[in-house]
Every structure is written in structure tokens, then in C-alpha cells.
Amino acid sequence: MTQYDYIVIGAGSAGCVVANRLTEDSQTTVLLLEAGKEDTKPEIQIPLECTNLPGTEVDWKYFSEPEPYINNRKMFCPRGKALGGSSSINFMVYMRGNHHDYDHWQELGNPGWSYQDVLPYFKKSENQQRGACKYHSVGGELSVTDLPTPTAISQRFVEAAVAMGYDYNPDFNAMQQEGVGSCQFTIKDGKRHSAAAAFLLPILKRPNLTTMTAALVTRLLFEGTRTVGVEYIHQGTLHQARVNSEVILSAGAFDSPKLLMLSGIGDAKHLQAMGISVLVDLPGVGQNLQDHILIPVVHQATQELHPATTSNGISEVGMFVHSEENRDVVPDLQLFFGAIPWSPPGYAHVDSGFTGTGILTHPQNIGSISLGSPDPKDAPMIQMNYLQSQSDVQKLVAGIKLLRNLFHSSAFDEFRGEEIAPGAEVSSDQALEAYVRGVCGTVYHPVGTCKMGIDPMAVVDPELRVHGVEGLRVVDASIMPTITTGNTNAPTIMIGEKAADLI
């Protein structure tokens, strides 16, 4: 049986970073196990193809259980299944979140995670096209760029918002987050720059790194409460690998808690009901599931808009705003705008159009992950509880109204055709609420299911070590105690950077 110093489970946004940093020491051996295959699907590299990747062979194709507050719909929950993980199928938006997100993590009992503490790790990875400054750096592995050819209509969105009194914000990742401006992307030379492209492909020839794809980890191996290795299926055969130092679990917000539970770490009653021997009764495993939720406003366009292949089409520009009821310090609405018609199911599809999406940055619903069976090949049970809170619905309705105001401003006069969704006839608050519950979708940002902290529901400590066992850390978006304000990929890469230092 082969022995390694470290075994990293999952070659996603955090796992690729950890594998890269740990193997910088030529004396340290690392086994990186990825359940998906290599990231060779051509569409992965083409930014505008990002909307066509969910549901293909590079996606786990997960669905939630019927969601009681959104008409019992089962929500589609894509997760990347290839080298790069979800960074190989995401929309490539580089968004760090709000300074207060990280200060709040520290206030919750996680020293070392304030904004000032994590900023150096954001900068460490970054190769910022705009150059270095207090908030950005150059020379890192991850390419962060502006769109080379944004569509003309995206600039109209910015003009409309500024005319309505919103601040122009040249950089959502610098001093402040509120306002309207252009997004930045993890794109390099016109191609997607996933965590695999940035952190893994350049180091695959390191002799101290063993990378194995199509390797499904079935359980963690323990002697007492010490983690000693992993069991995995590769090419139809069950294998074991042993570890000298630590196992790093980077399988994501759905599969990291699933693997902990399969290995006997989780809520004792749930594990016993599944016939799994309890190693550590840790009730927080799989709890605290959080995600961003969106609602689209779609218009037909009166002319061709021609989004470039180097664009993701969905979020060329965006804005962060406070809704009227929001007294919190962080914006509660994130808006995206793009030059493609992203019609929800059941609505007309048009060839040329534009879409604005209203996104809740901090929805109040909390969901959970549990086991549907003790079979590692079975998907986890996902319950999101989207729109459990009426105030969340009201905020999304406010987002629709704001987008409509923007789209009906003079800046859009030469582009604005018919409103496809929700449709001009959907105007009362009651009708808009019905639209929100019937159509809302996920922004594909699940986090929080192995949360960091010191309270009874925490799964890992502030150094990301799993409570109750030795030699095991969780390093991915599941450790977030609360979801960040905005897209979650850049924060997950930061978590990988900080974890590598901690290890």
C-alpha cells in the first residue's frame, strides 16, 4: 500500500491550490484524488460556453429534494466533476466578497480570518491585469482580467444606474463593494483560467505529486481517532492509500460532509439510522447549508447584441445595492447584467436579448446535507429551504422592480424590446411574488456545511481541523460560517491558500 505525506480529496478550487503549495517542498509527497476526469472537454475553455456545461459529463448533476417554499420544485444544483471542480464549469466571475464578511467570521470565534488577515491570501494567488496596488498583486498563478470586448449594451446598464444616482464602482474587490461597474473574470488569453489551469497543470510533472482522476473516495480510514488514509474506487477496483501527516478533504459543500458522514463523523442519530458506526458525534456535519438565490428579468432586444466568446454572457457588469429595508452594513442585493436572453423554463426563448438577475447576497434560509443511503456512489440528499423567509421574497421582488426601472430608462431605448420574463402583465406584488417562487434559481454557491468555529455546531476549528479527530482538515467552501457577499470561487481559492499556510 502506497504512503504519502498528504492526501488531498478533490481537485477543485481549494484542492488544486493546496496540492500546488504543499508540493513546493520537494521532500513532501502528495496524492491528489479527483472523482471526475481530466478537464479536456473543449467547451470548458470557451467562456461563453459556461451556460452549456451544467448537466453534462463534467457535472455531478445533483438535484435538491422538493423545496417546500418554491412550489415543491427540485432545484438543479450543478457541481463540477473534473479537474478544477466547479471552477471548470462556473461563470468565472472574480468576486472576493465584502470586508465585513471576514471580520464577521472572526467575530464568530475564528481568529486569523478577518479581512486584514485574508487579504494577503487573495493577493498571493492573483495576477491582476490592472497591476498591483494595496488590494491587488501581479505574478500570482490566477489570471484576473477585464473583458477585452464588452458589449455596448453592458455600458448602457452602467450609465442607467449612474443616472439613477448609484455610485460608479471601478473595482468591487477594492475599498468598497457598493455601486455599479464592470466585473472581472478568471480568464487568460481568452480562455477559462480554472483552478486546474492556474494551479495544477503547471505542476503536474512534479515528482512528489501523484494526481489520479476518476477516483471516487468511499471513506476515510482511522486508527482510533487518528486519520491514517483513504479508501477509493478506481477503474472498478477498491484501493487504499495511507497518509503520514494529514488528509485534506476538499470535496465541496455537498460531498465533504457526505464523506465525513460515510466515515462515521456526523450526527450520531442520522449515522445510526444509516447503519454507519459512529466515530465522532458531530451534529453540525451537513448543517448550515447556505446558497445565493437569483431571479431573472429577461428582455427581447431590438438588434443583435453579439456577446464575445471571451465573455460569459451573463455578468459583464453588475452592482451591489442596499434594498430599502436593509439596515445591515453589507449590500443585500447583487445585480448582474449580460447580453444573452436567459429565459427561465416555461418562458419564450428569443435569439437576441438581455438579462438582468437580482441575487440575494445573504438569504435567511438555512439548509442541510444528509445521506440518502450508506452507498458512496449515491448522491447526498440536499435540502436548501429556499425562500423560507418572506423577507427574502420581498427583497427579490425589490430586485425585479429595480431592474425594470433600469431597463425602462432612456439608456436602453434603442435596445429594449418586449419583456419576456416575468412579462409586462406581471405587475402586482402578489403576481411578482408568485413569479419569484415559481422561477427563482440558484447561483451555484453552496457553502457552510462543515462550518468553522468553536460552537457546538462547528465542524472544524479556526485552523480547519475537524473537531474530535486528528490528521484531518476540511479545506473548501463548506468551512464558511456565513456565505460571502457575492460569488464564492475567489474566497474558496483564498481558503486553499490560507489552509496551505496553516498546514
Q: For position 355, which CATH number holds?
A: 3.30.560.10
CA distances from 14 to 18, 121, 457, 461 (A): 6, 12, 23, 17
Beta strands at 179-182 and 317-321: parallel, antiparallel or unpaired: antiparallel
108 within a domain of the structure (yes/no): no
Q: Are residues 158 and 206 in the same domain?
A: no
Q: What is the pLDDT, as a whole number, of residue 312?
A: 85
Q: Are residues 355 and 463 in the same domain?
A: no
> Of 304-313, 314-323, 348-357, which gets the smallest average pLDDT?
304-313
Q: What is the pLDDT, as a whole number, of residue 6?
A: 98
502/324: higher pLDDT: 502
Would you say how long the chain is, in residues? 503
Calpha distance 185→500 (Å, rounded):
24
Q: Is the pLDDT assigned to residue 324 strictly greater than 80?
A: no
390 within a domain of the structure (yes/no): yes
Q: Are residues 265 and 331 in the same domain?
A: no
Q: What is the pLDDT, as a whole number, of residue 489?
A: 98
The CATH number that applies at residue 201 is: 3.50.50.60
Q: Is the pLDDT assigned to residue 328 strictly greater than 90?
A: no
Q: Is the pLDDT assigned to residue 1 strictly greater than 80?
A: no
Q: Are residues 344 and 462 in the same domain?
A: no
Q: Are residues 148 and 245 in the same domain?
A: no
Give the residue carrying C-alpha cell 454507519.
276
Q: What is the pLDDT, as a whole number, of residue 185?
A: 97
Q: Are residues 402 and 338 in the same domain?
A: yes
Q: For all residues of the chain together, what is the average pLDDT?
A: 96
pLDDT (tens digit per residue) in 230-283: 999 999 999 999 999 999 999 999 999 999 999 999 999 999 999 999 999 999
115 within a domain of the structure (yes/no): no
Picking from 406, 421, 442, the residue at the C-terminal end of a domain is 442
Q: Which domain holds residue 481?
A: 3-39+194-289+447-502
| DSSP structure string for 406-448 | HHTSGGGTTTEEEEEETTTT--SHHHHHHHHHHH-EE-S--B-
124 within a domain of the structure (yes/no): no
Q: What is the pLDDT, as a whole number, of residue 389?
A: 96
Picking from 390, 407, 442, the residue at the C-terminal end of a domain is 442
Average pLDDT over residues 298-326: 89
- Domains contained in the chain, number: 2
- The alpha carbons of the chain give a radius of gyration, in whole angstroms, of 22
pLDDT (tens digit per residue) in 18-66: 999 999 999 999 999 999 999 999 999 999 999 899 999 999 999 999 9
Q: Are residues 218 and 272 in the same domain?
A: yes
Half-sphere exposure of 430 (CA within 13 A, CB side): 0
Average pLDDT over residues 309-332: 87
Q: What is the pLDDT, as a whole number, of residue 114?
A: 98
Q: What is the pLDDT, as a whole number, of residue 276?
A: 98
pLDDT (tens digit per residue) in 69-85: 999 999 999 999 999 99
pLDDT (tens digit per residue) in 429-482: 999 999 999 999 999 999 999 999 999 999 999 999 999 999 999 999 999 999
105 within a domain of the structure (yes/no): no
Q: What is the pLDDT, as a whole number, of residue 309?
A: 80
Q: Are residues 459 and 362 in the same domain?
A: no
The residues, ordered by sequence, that sit 6+ positions from 439 with a Cβ below 8 Å of its Cβ are 295, 296, 344, 345, 346, 421, 422
Residues known to be catalytic = 445
484 within a domain of the structure (yes/no): yes
284 within a domain of the structure (yes/no): yes
Q: What is the pLDDT, as a whole number, of residue 311?
A: 85
Q: Are residues 238 and 300 in the same domain?
A: no
Q: What is the pLDDT, as a whole number, of residue 68?
A: 97
Closest by CA position to 447, among listed 51, 81, 13, 71: 13
Q: Is the pLDDT assigned to residue 326 strictly greater than 80?
A: no
Picking from 390, 424, 442, the residue at the C-terminal end of a domain is 442
99 within a domain of the structure (yes/no): no
Calpha distance 420→119 (Å, rounded):
41
Cell digits of residue 299: 428582455
Q: Are residues 431 and 346 in the same domain?
A: yes
Q: Are residues 167 and 305 in the same domain?
A: yes
Q: Are residues 236 and 374 in the same domain?
A: no
Average pLDDT over residues 400-407: 98
